[in-house]
Chain A
Amino acid sequence: MGNREYRLTIPAVISKIEEACEHVGKIARKIGLDDDATYHCHLSVEEVLTNVIEHGYDYAGADKTIDIECTVTANSFVITIIDEAEPFDPLSLPDPDPNTPLLEREGGGWGVFFVKKYMDHVSYRLDHNRNHFIMEKLLK
């Protein structure tokens, strides 16, 4: 059987993130991911979309869109977040340090850190000047 693909396009605003997370969660459940794996996908999509809207579009992306592409292969569930903000690879930043004292915590960087922990593989590529953030959950 070939790959199955699903695509959702949302305006680049915080209020639309839930719709995207629910969309991904529905597919995850449909293909048999368990509650934990579905939760991991849901949280990861929220974190990546939040970063794009906050840092990529500086909360001014109401007239911009973000594509959420899901591909189900024989052994994996691949979620790709595609945006047209300034090219930027979130994986180029160092991981935040969990040992950072309270007063030195600036709050940033944890979203991508969680995505790396929760998903089996993450990568970034720039394609046609669009950011592609790719997250993969293996089907077990």
Chain B
Amino acid sequence: MIEISVSGLDNDITLAEVMGRIDSMSANDFGAALIEQIDAGNIRLVLDLSGVDYMSSAGLREIVGALKKVKKADGSGDLRLAQPSERVREVLEMSGLDTIFQIFRSQDDAVNSFS
């Protein structure tokens, strides 16, 4: 079960805050929520993962798909990650995604990185 809270910020930045576990049961809903934002033209995305203590490969597949889509949409588009927990950071590192995503220690740092 996950909850995703989406807010529009200045500079066309969209903040998505996720709470819960991103696993094979919730990954589809999670990915659909990201794609919905991208399809709506919200392509400067910050994904705050501080409320996520568990992400399996099903969740990684969704963020990779979303990043591909946002990069294709526009040269200025990006999906940046904020505050991953130690466990989420570990799976990002094992899969090499820590070198593909921009990852920030705080939500503010991630938001400000777009300006």
Contacts and interface: CB of A to CB of B under 8 A. Distances in A.
A111 B64 contact: no
A98 B58 contact: no
Interface stretch (B10-18, B93-101, B102-110): B93-101
Contacts of B99: 99
Nearest to A98: B96
Interface in A103-140: 103, 105, 107, 110-111, 113-114, 117
B100 A102 contact: yes
Interface in A38-79: 39, 42-43, 46-47, 49-50
> Chain A interface residue count: which class?
20 to 34
Contact of B95 (A18, A42, A110): A110
Contacts of B46: none
Interface of B: 23-25, 54, 56-58, 60-61, 64-65, 67-68, 71, 87, 91, 94-96, 99-100
Interface of A: 14-15, 17-18, 39, 42-43, 46-47, 49-50, 96-103, 105, 107, 110-111, 113-114, 117
Of all A-B residue pairs in the complex, the 5 with the closest CB atoms, nearest first, are: A98-B96, A110-B57, A107-B61, A50-B24, A111-B57
8 contacts: A39-B54, A46-B56, A47-B56, A47-B57, A50-B56, A50-B57, A102-B71, A107-B65
